[in-house]
Homo-oligomer: A and B are copies of this chain.
């Protein structure tokens, strides 16, 4: 099985797919697309992904985009270990937790949105950071409330990490970006700690990617 992923070190959606691939122990080649400099809008990449976003996942020449669609696809073609449980109610719970950041929190803090805030409302760096902090804190608070109803044991759905943990860990990385501390969200903080103690999560962290190391030296 040949797998390529067009991704970016800072992209949380790329992080999610990276963790999924690493948890399943699947080798892949990551091709960097610098979404901060706008490389996704260049014609070469537009031919790869008509939405002009990362990640794009290529499996034996077949391409899939949108991180949740990619992780579901991976779980279907390579179910071991399962990231989404088999039971319908448990699957729904895993997807609900995932979508809270994929469909609610994270879309509000992507580079295209930050750029458009600056362009539309003259938002400066401070105002854009405050915007990011607001939505990221909302998401953390929601996860904290939800996990209070069903405590992680020790991961969101049970003994093994899966889709929900990947998405919550990604939200915690966003919190690191906007310099939010997790003191008010102890259940989320403990869950993220357990995740990042696992090599598949730790090595997928944006700050562990080659692109970050280059960017941080500039």
Contact = CB atoms under 8 A, between A and B. Distances in A.
A103 B72 contact: no
Given A53-B104, A62-B89, 15 more contacts: A50-B142, A51-B100, A51-B142, A51-B146, A64-B89, A64-B92, A66-B95, A68-B68, A73-B89, A103-B107, A108-B113, A116-B131, A117-B121, A121-B122, A121-B123
A91 interface: yes
Interface of A: 50-53, 62, 64-66, 68-70, 72-73, 76-77, 88-89, 91-93, 95-96, 98-100, 102-104, 106-108, 113, 116-117, 120-123, 127, 130-131, 134, 142, 145-146, 149
Given A50-B146, A104-B53, A142-B50, A76 B99 contact: no
B100 A76 contact: no
A-B pairs with lowest CB-CB distance, top 3: A69-B95, A121-B121, A66-B99
**Stoichiometry, copies per complex:** 2
A72 B145 CA distance: 24
* Chief secondary structure at chain A's binding surface: helix
16 contacts: A50-B149, A51-B142, A52-B142, A64-B89, A65-B96, A66-B99, A69-B95, A69-B96, A72-B91, A73-B88, A73-B95, A99-B102, A103-B103, A103-B106, A116-B134, A117-B121
